Amino acid sequence: MRLSLPRQFAITGLILLLSSCAIQKPLPAPADGVAWKAHRQALTALENWQARGRIAVRTDSDGWSAGFDWTQAGGNYRIRLRGPFGQGALELEGDTHGVWLRRAGQPAVFATDADVLMEQESGWRLPVAGLNYWLRGLPDKQGSTISHLDSAGRLAFLQQRGWQIKYRTYQDYGAVALPTRLALQRDGLRVKVIVDSWELP
């Protein structure tokens, strides 16, 4: 049976339409990078905040733990460590120009580098400058990074400035999720941070 020319075109078109539907791929799910970009923008805009929690620092032979209160106001910060090294409170107050370290009954000490100052005064080199970013779940603006995201597009792992940071848990605070448990490691030095509360403007 010979088909008319219009019917041949109609059948050919139908076959092409069905075959295109059969091989058409489903739309891809949103990439982690899209969620991360939005999450990162929200965290970067968060310039004024307070965090309260606990920190534990360990090596194979020594360690200490303390409570902390961190207040950040733009480029200015104040970090109060409660009871580190079995002593009273220690306070770091600084900005982009330098940092003061204060302890009860002792003269204040100034340095241009907070990490170096902590090492001079305590023997422990803590990443004070990096923690301003890492505590929020952001990479520091300086230095190359290696990072992995979780299924929600947040940092699960970050390697920067020689430190490896693992993000254990997050908690929603309004429209933004902030870390509540993280672990840092570098050259045998292990730091665990638990944030009990965040205060946002």
> What is the structure's pLDDT at 67?
94
Is 50 exceeded by the pLDDT of residue 16? no
More confident residue, 72 or 3: 72
Is 60 exceeded by the pLDDT of residue 29? no
The structure's pTM equals: 0.80
CA-nearest of 74, 184, 186 to 135 is: 184
Tell me the C-alpha distance between 18 and 84, whole Å: 71
| Average pLDDT score over residue span 58-62 | 87
Is 90 exceeded by the pLDDT of residue 180? yes
Q: Kindly list the domain boundaries of the chain, sorted by start residue.
A: 32-199
Structure tokens given for 132:
């301003």
The number of residues making up the chain comes to: 201
Name the CATH code of domain 32-199 (choices 3.90.550.10, 3.40.50.300, 3.30.70.3270, 2.50.20.10): 2.50.20.10
> What is the structure's pLDDT at 126?
85
Q: What is the pLDDT of residues 93-150, one digit of tens each?
A: 999 899 999 988 889 999 999 999 988 887 777 888 899 999 999 999 887 899 999 9
